[in-house]
Amino acid sequence: MHVGRLVTRPVETCTVDENAATLASRMQHRHVGNLVVIEYRNGEAVPIGIVTDRDLVTSVMAPKLDPERVTAGQIMSHGLIVAAESDDVTVALDEMRRSGVRRLPVVDDGGRLTGIVALDDVMEYFASILVDVSRIGRVQQIEEQRTHA
C-alpha cells in the first residue's frame, strides 16, 4: 500500500515567523499535536520543518520563555524527513523507526505538501491486515463444514 492512501488531509500548517502562543492556540483549536512548517515556493507549500506539542513544552514552556517571542522557526525540527505519496507504507514505517519520529509530512513528486502520515495510521493499517488474516482459519472451517456436509 502506498503512503498516499493513508495520509491525513488537509494538513495543519504554519510558517517560520508565527509565534509559539499562536501555534499552541492553533493546535488546541484544531485538536492536533503538530503543525508542519511550510514555506511557499512558486506559490506551492513546501514542508521545511515540524513543530510538535512536545517542542512547545520542552523548548518554550519548560525554560519559561515568552511564547509571544519564540517563533516556529526557532523551535521546529531541522533536517525534516518526509515520505513520498508513492512510497510503500513499509518504507515510511522504516523511516519513522530509524529517525525516531511518529509523524512524516507527505509530499508529491514535486515536493509539495499533500498530507501527513502518523505512526497510528500505519498501525491501524497493519492491524486491519492482521484481522483479515485471522479470519482465514474461520472461513476455512466453514468451507470444510459446507463441503463435507
Q: To which residue does cell 514552556 refer?
A: 61
Domain membership flag for residue 139: no
Number of domains forming the structure of the chain: 1
In this predicted structure, what is the pLDDT of residue 146? 72
Domain membership flag for residue 60: yes
Its domain, for residue 13, covers 3-118
In one-letter notation, the amino acid at residue 60 is: V
Domain membership flag for residue 112: yes
Q: Please give the model's pTM, rounded to 2 decimal places.
A: 0.84
Domain membership flag for residue 135: no
Domain membership flag for residue 136: no
Q: What is the pLDDT of residues 80-106, one digit of tens each?
A: 999 999 999 999 999 999 999 999 999
Q: What is the pLDDT of residues 120-144, one digit of tens each?
A: 999 999 898 888 777 777 666 767 7
Domain CATH code at residue 106: 3.10.580.10
Domain membership flag for residue 93: yes
In this predicted structure, what is the pLDDT of residue 15? 98
Q: Is residue 64 within 8 Å of residue 50, measured between CB atoms? A: no
Domain membership flag for residue 110: yes
Q: Would you list the DSSP string of the chain?
A: -BGGGT-BSSPPEE-TTSBHHHHHHHHHHHT-SEEEEEEEETTEEEEEEEEEHHHHIIIIITTT--TTT-BHHHHS-SS---EETTSBHHHHHHHHHHHT-SEEEEE-TTS-EEEEEEHHHHHHHHHHHHHHHHHHHHHHHHHHHHHH-
pLDDT, mean of residues 104-125? 95
Q: Buried (b) or exposed (e) across 4-25, using 16+ Cβ within 10 A?
A: bebbeeebbbbeeebbbebbbe
Q: What is the pLDDT of residues 21-55, one digit of tens each?
A: 999 999 999 999 999 999 999 999 999 999 999 99
Domain membership flag for residue 20: yes
